[in-house]
Amino acid sequence: MRGLSAFTVAVAIALSLAAQAEEAQNANNKNNQTSTATGNASNQKATKTSTSSSSSSSSSSSTTTTSSTSSNADGSSTTSLQTTAQAKPRPWSLRLQTLHEFSKTAVQNQKFEGISVWRPSVYYRLNDRFTLSYTQEFFSIYSPDEATKWQVSDGRLTLSDSNIATLPGDISIDGFIRLYLPTSENNRFLYKRRAQFYGYLGASKSIGKFFLSYSLLAMYYVNSQDFYMAGSSPRPNKDYMIENYIAAGYSFTSKLTATSTVGTIDNIYRSMPQYNVGVRRNTYFYGEVALSYAATKNVSLGAIVYNYTPFESNNHVNLLQDSDLSYIGVVSLRL
């Protein structure tokens, strides 16, 4: 699961832009239909029929009342009313995302081993900008040599803002803050972490069917101890993680989008004075190519190839090594 966080950000941006394009197209079609209907109504009013409408709303639905007046042969008029109830979009939704990751080495060796991740989530839209969500992740590592064991990962409580600001040049700024709850076995019993705080700030710019984006993410780990024991060896707990990504993409249609992402991941570890070990930092390079397809309004598919490899002491990085390449398939459902 080394690159799942970066993959999530890149594909989420691609799917979001695809959804915006589809919504814009739907809005344009709706405007065309409204314009046609208005023109027809004007023509009818010029002859013998006039139409007017009014609407009222409640907490759960809205109603539209249409009245039409027609002239009779004896010179009198007849008015008819028709009321149509329209349900408001519900503010909450359920979503399920499943990811399956395989390393290139496993594929080459024709070994059925990898990682399977399931992420059920509940979303609640507070208003046009803010959404509150909770995700509980489950995963399993499967191998032909070992029995598959499902594990619970950390729960995630997220508050996202889809429109923090719009900068000159139509550059959109969005972000989220997230609290990780220590529900995983490792965080409760091995690392003994109390919580993790995660923040994301992104900037994106669309130019026709092309788009560019920059993402900055930072994680702070609330640890109850400086290190943990891996067998008889002490290992420092992670203190911070900082991620930077630049992505470029192209929307072939409102449903099909290709994205390429590159970035760095910095991990900062706590010191262990009792073992004469100071603060340690390591940096990884991340590269990804992703293809996302919004099959329907509620179903999207994704395919990803990513490279995750450490910088060496001389800042050299070995790209496209078989041991550092992995493939991911993803299915996202909105219920």
Beta bridge partners of 293: 256, 301
pLDDT band at residue 73 under the 50/70/90 scheme: low
pLDDT at 203 over 70: yes
Whole-number pLDDT of residue 53: 39
Number of continuous H segments (helices) and E segments (strands) in the chain: 3, 17
Phi-psi sector, 97: left (phi>0), alpha (psi -120 to 50), beta: beta
Average the pLDDT over 197-226 and give the result.
96
pLDDT at 40 over 60: no
Whole-number pLDDT of residue 84: 63
pLDDT band at residue 256 under the 50/70/90 scheme: very high
Whole-number pLDDT of residue 325: 86
Average pLDDT over the chain, rounded to whole? Answer: 81
pLDDT band at residue 103 under the 50/70/90 scheme: confident
Q: Could you give all domains of the chain from N- to C-terminal order, each with its CATH number?
A: 4-25+90-334 (2.40.160.40), 53-89 (no CATH)
Whole-number pLDDT of residue 149: 83
Average the pLDDT over 42-69 and give the result.
46
pLDDT band at residue 315 under the 50/70/90 scheme: low
Whole-number pLDDT of residue 62: 55
Whole-number pLDDT of residue 22: 47
The SS3 call for residue 216 is strand
What distance in Å separates the CA atoms of residue 266 and residue 243, rounded to the nearest whole number? 6
Whole-number pLDDT of residue 36: 46
Whole-number pLDDT of residue 74: 59
Contact 332, 12 (CB under 8 A): no
Please state the pTM of the whole predicted model. 0.75
pLDDT at 33 over 90: no
